[in-house]
Structure 1
Amino acid sequence: MSFKHVALYPCNPATARGESTKLSSNKDKIVYTNGRTVIIRDLKNPSQVIANSGHVQAATVARISPTGYYCASADATGNVRVWDIVGEDQVLKAEYKVLTGRVNDLEWDGESNRIIAVGDGRDKFGHAFMMDTGSSTGEIMGHSKVINSVTIRHQRPFRAATAGDDSTVVFHQGVPFKYDKTIKTHTKFVQDVRYGSSGDHFASVGSDAKVFVYDGKTGNTLGEFNDNPHTGSIYACAWSPDSKSIVTSSADCTVKLWDVESKKAVTTWKLGTGVHNQQVGNTWTAGDDIVSLSMSGDLNIFDKRTGDKPARILQGPTKSITSAISTSGSTTFIAGASDGRIVSFSGSEYSTIAGPGHASLVSGLGVASSGDIYSIGYDDTVREIDVKGNNFTQASCATASQPKSIAVANDDTVFVAEVKHIEAIRSNQKVHAVETSFTPNSIATAGKIIAVGGEDHKIHIYEWDGKTLGKAGLLEGNKGPIGALAFSPDGSLLASGDSSGKIVLFDVEKREAITSRWSFHSARIHSLAWTADGKHCASGSLDTHVYIWSVAKPMKNIAIKNAASNGVNAVFWLGDNKLASAGADGCVRTWDITFH
């Protein structure tokens, strides 16, 4: 038995209100961070995705070197990692502690030898160093508050500009980099500063909704872009590949394209209203794609020749995926996240389920025989999803307490395991409820049998006659609270995973354990999924690993190590030989499995 990694479906960038989110690009690749993960995705070839989770703390910014061989990424504790992106192993070249606080931005020089990292620190707000040795290449001085952005002229003589919360832009000579002058054009926080690829000019944008352009060699102010200006804070700017245009993204929910020579706005794209449509980051790829990031995490891709709406919108999870299931057994699946968002995947891209969704963590998803999906969330609500329409229906049902797990019976009755109850719901109406003496954690159904895993380390078996739940037995053998249950497709077997990492396989009819040897996980089991033939069962755990177990040969397994940083929260089959795993990093990965 063996496995092969097939595809990675990445999360979208993480955003924070009132802050600029740094996007960058190299050729047709865009680079961003989410949690501990750095994502590099190719806009022209969606299958080319790199996810690196080497940071111990939340990553804040990442940029590819001009040569295209390395990526430098930084985190919230002041560490910068330089790693190889050419090989599959993503070998770490160097790691440096450059600041005592958060790194907000970093930049490579044109020779891919030097890096300047800026942000927050007790003794300094910026550090310039050699990428291979870490030795200093000058001083980043002149700011009295946190630095938000840095840019370096890629041609000799090198120059650098930094922008900070002290409302100033500081110009540096180089190398070694040294303070030259302070530029006081802005009246509020300066959010972003960027050099054009030609090196002739650089631009700055800020919370005062102003855009300024400067001479690239001297730092002299050349003028302000005040034709049809933004009406809200500008969080990011980016230059066109030919250095003749600038694009800016603002909290007024607009993206503007400016002509540098005339200093006039050529095109304005309006992206709706509301906080979720505020534009908080952008980049302009060498392939001439303008990418702007919405507060919601959507990546809006614009064509500069059309001034109406984005040519494409890349959607996806922005938080940990907490539950996921396949919807048709092929390439379609639905995933719920810790922020309440539910997304569907079909073909090659995500789309967000529209309508009145959940307000907080999605704790479970279940599919009915009709094909509709039911979801539960920590907002104590059961909701119905119309898969064909890709939207929530208006129907919903409140639960008596916090729902932890969901299962849908053959008659489309929805069973919800809650803190002290098991509720049966049909047509979005409660039809039955049982108060339990134990705390339910997980639930699964097969025919008339309902299995409920509890905090008491036991599986409580119920029978459903269409109207009421009757107690029908008890299964024991697990060593911890039971977090995942799954019946085999024919209902004859029941797999039970607990908090110790142990999985026990039960014979449902005989009410006895078949094997307790599925015990290679070292942490809580979050999800179990059977193959269609009932011969193999996959498990996903907090220990970041996925295992595929054999019923016929209990000691045989396929181990997919480090399938998701911070833990695997869901596993599901997309066919007889294709397994998908979703994790706390917000990414979904698929694997081709060979059983013989």
Structure 2
Amino acid sequence: MSFKKGVLYPCNPATTRGEPTKISSSKDKVVYTNGRSVIIRDLKDPGASVAYSGHVHNTTVARIAPSGYYCASADASGTVRIWDTVGEDQTLKGEYKVITGRVKDLEWDGESKRIIAVGDGRDKFGHAFMMDTGSSTGDIIGHSKTINAVSIRHQRPFRAATAADDATIVFHQGVPFKYDKTIKTHTKFVQDVRFSPSGDHFASVGSDHKIFVYDGKTGETLGEFTDSPHAGSIMACSWSPDSTSLVTSAADCIVKLWDVETKKAQTTWTLGSGVNHQQVGNTWTAGDSIISLSMSGDLNVFDKRVGDKPARVLYGPQKSITAALKTPSSASTFIVGTADGRVLSFADDYEYIGGDAHASLVAGLGVSPAGTVHSVGFDDRLREIDGDSFTPATFSTGAQPKAVAVGGDSTVFVAEVDKIEAVRSNQKISELALKYSPSAIAAAGNVVAVGGEDQKVRLYSWDGKSLTESATLDGAKGTVSALAFSPDGALLASGDSSGKIVLYDVAERKTVTTRWSFHSGRVNSLAWTADGQHCASGSLDTHVYVWSVAKPMKNIAIKNAGPGGVNAVFWVKDGELASAGADGCVRLWSVTFHA
């Protein structure tokens, strides 16, 4: 048995309310961060995306060098890592501790040799250094508060501009970079500053709703954009590839396109209302696509010729994926539920499941024989998904759900703190009080398996009206955390919090093997192949294993399959396994079973 790495479907950027989020681009790729990961997302092919997860702390900003060979990414601890973007190895070129706090922005020079990183530090707010040695290339001084943004002129003579919470912009000459002057055009926080690709100008935007443009060589203020101003804090600005236009994104949920020469607004895009539609970051790609980031994490792609709405919107999970499954219908390939209550379907790209989503973490997903998907969340709700939207029908559970399973007659079984509720058509049919705390549940036909925190698996018979206990299975070494019946219902796999998986024969009520025990952390998910000969497992230890029923000692080990832990595994089709987890990304693996 062997495996090959397949495509990656990425998460969307992480955002923070009231703060700008730095996103950037390289050719037709958008670069952003989420959690400990750096995502390089291809606009043309969602499956050609790359995730880098070498940081120990949460990442804050990433930019690809003008050469395209390296990416510099920074995190909340003040560390900058420079790594190779060519090839799959993502070789680390250098790692430097640049400031004592959070890095909020960084920028490459035009020669891809020098980097300036800025942010929130105790002794200094910025650092200029060589990418290959880390040696200093000047002093970033002149600010009294956190620096929010930095930009470097890509032509010689080099210049750098930094923007900060002290409402000032500091203009530096270089190299080595040294203080030249302080520009006091803004009256509140300056959120972004950007040099034009030509180097002739740079622009700044801030919380005072103002936009200014300056001379790129001298730092002289050339004017303010006063035509139809924004009504909220302007979070980001980006230049067109030909340096004639500027795009701004603001907290008033509006994106504006400006002509720099006339300082007039050419196009205005309004993206709804409310916090989720606040625009907190943007970038203008070399392929002439304008991308603005919503607070919700949605990436809005605009065509500058169309001034009505985004040409398309790139959706995706913004938080950890907590549940996922393959849908039997052809409408979508799979469905994922996330830690913030969102449920998304994926066919050619992500789409939100319409209607009222869960208010908090999606604890489980289950699918009926008829193809209806059911979801439970920590908002104590059982929801039903019909096609691409939630149905209005909802069931309030008696306590916080832990897991969900659907039986052969489409009855939904919800495992709660101390009981099992059986629900059909959003009506409770029966309730079974338990003397133990259930932690996992699975169903096949009229048999329901419930795993407990007491390290036991109990089998129940379902007669359409009530559950009757029929057997108790031992062998687990910890809390039972995942259960899965084989497609024919003959075998039951049980994973526990110690990483051990036990395989049971359901009819004989006996153990088939206890040798599936290579995980070192809690088993979060189990998934069988259609023929019932192999079972995949995903664990908190970040690994995925594919086990063989016929040869229990044979397995495929997919190491480090999901940074932060794998929460869900499922088979997309024969020979194609998907894993998802803490980093919000879904990864596909091509698995080959040798005869």
Give me the TM-score of the superposition, normalised by structure 1.
0.99
* Alignment match, 2:60: 60
Going from structure 1 to structure 2, the CA distance change for 1:261 and 1:303 (only over 3 Å counts) comes to: same
* Alignment match, 2:136: 136
Give, in angstroms, the shift of residue 204 of structure 1: 0.4
* Alignment match, 1:552: 550
Q: Deviations over 1:17-50 (max 9, x none)?
A: 1000000011111100000000001212333211
Of residues 449, 468, 471, the one that matches 1:470 is 468
* Alignment match, 2:258: 258
Give, in angstroms, the shift of residue 448 of structure 1: 1.0
Query: 2-side partners of 1:202 and 1:69: how far apart?
Result: 26
* Alignment match, 1:338: 339
Q: How does 1:381-420 map to 2 (within 5 A)?
A: 381-387=381-387, 390-420=388-418
Residue 513 of structure 2 aligns with an amino acid whose one-letter code is T
The 8 Å contact of residues 570 and 577 in structure 2, kept in 1 or not, is answered as: yes
Query: 1-side partners of 2:434 and 2:48: how far apart?
Result: 49
Query: 2-side partners of 1:29 and 1:451: how far apart?
Result: 46
Matched, 1:423 2:424: no
Query: 1-side partners of 2:26 and 2:546: how far apart?
Result: 38
* Alignment match, 2:204: 204
- Structure 1, unmatched stretches of 5+, are none
Query: 2-side partners of 1:402 and 1:47: how far apart?
Result: 36
The 8 Å contact of residues 99 and 119 in structure 1, kept in 2 or not, is answered as: yes
* Alignment match, 1:519: 517
Give, in angstroms, the shift of residue 460 of structure 1: 1.2
Going from structure 1 to structure 2, the CA distance change for 1:493 and 1:329 (only over 3 Å counts) comes to: farther
Residue 179 of structure 1 aligns with an amino acid whose one-letter code is Y
What secondary structure does 1:129 align onto?
strand
The 8 Å contact of residues 329 and 574 in structure 1, kept in 2 or not, is answered as: no
Matched, 1:482 2:483: no
Residue 271 of structure 2 aligns with an amino acid whose one-letter code is L
Query: 2-side partners of 1:48 and 1:524: how far apart?
Result: 31
Residue 188 of structure 1 aligns with an amino acid whose one-letter code is K
Residue 341 of structure 1 aligns with an amino acid whose one-letter code is R
The 8 Å contact of residues 198 and 242 in structure 2, kept in 1 or not, is answered as: yes
Query: 2-side partners of 1:584 and 1:567: how far apart?
Result: 6
Q: Deviations over 1:457-514 (max 9, x none)?
A: 0001111100011111100001000000000011110000000000000011111111
Moved over 6 A (4+): none
- Structure 2, unmatched stretches of 5+, are none
Matched, 1:592 2:593: no
Residue-pair matches, total: 593
What secondary structure does 1:14 align onto?
coil
The 8 Å contact of residues 329 and 573 in structure 1, kept in 2 or not, is answered as: no
* Alignment match, 2:32: 32
Give, in angstroms, the shift of residue 410 of structure 1: 1.2
Residue 453 of structure 2 aligns with an amino acid whose one-letter code is E
Query: 1-side partners of 2:367 and 2:229: how far apart?
Result: 49
Q: How does 1:526-565 map to 2 (within 5 A)?
A: 526-565=524-563
The 8 Å contact of residues 281 and 292 in structure 2, kept in 1 or not, is answered as: yes
Query: 2-side partners of 1:47 and 1:461: how far apart?
Result: 41
Give, in angstroms, the shift of residue 57 of structure 1: 0.5
What secondary structure does 2:276 align onto?
helix
* Alignment match, 2:75: 75
Give, in angstroms, the shift of residue 111 of structure 1: 0.4
Give, in angstroms, the shift of residue 5 of structure 1: 1.3
The 8 Å contact of residues 456 and 476 in structure 2, kept in 1 or not, is answered as: yes
Residue 165 of structure 2 aligns with an amino acid whose one-letter code is D
Q: Deviations over 1:535-576 (max 9, x none)?
A: 000000001000000000000001111111000000001112
Query: 1-side partners of 2:45 and 2:579: how far apart?
Result: 22
Query: 2-side partners of 1:587 and 1:329: how far apart?
Result: 22
Q: How does 1:15-26 map to 2 (within 5 A)?
A: 15-26=15-26
Query: 2-side partners of 1:372 and 1:238: how far apart?
Result: 45
Residue 131 of structure 1 aligns with an amino acid whose one-letter code is M
The 8 Å contact of residues 329 and 575 in structure 1, kept in 2 or not, is answered as: no
Give, in angstroms, the shift of residue 329 of structure 1: 7.3
Residue 228 of structure 1 aligns with an amino acid whose one-letter code is S
Give me the TM-score of the superposition, normalised by structure 2.
0.99
The 8 Å contact of residues 256 and 267 in structure 2, kept in 1 or not, is answered as: yes
The 8 Å contact of residues 382 and 398 in structure 1, kept in 2 or not, is answered as: yes
* Alignment match, 1:364: 364
Q: Deviations over 1:328-380 (max 9, x none)?
A: 27761000000001100012x10011111101000100011221110000111
* Alignment match, 2:310: 310
The 8 Å contact of residues 195 and 202 in structure 1, kept in 2 or not, is answered as: yes
Residue 336 of structure 2 aligns with an amino acid whose one-letter code is A
What RMSD in Å do the two structures reach over aligned CA positions?
0.8
Query: 2-side partners of 1:99 and 1:6: how far apart?
Result: 37
Residue 25 of structure 1 aligns with an amino acid whose one-letter code is S
Query: 1-side partners of 2:357 and 2:319: how far apart?
Result: 15
Matched, 1:247 2:247: yes
* Alignment match, 2:154: 154
Residue 337 of structure 1 aligns with an amino acid whose one-letter code is T
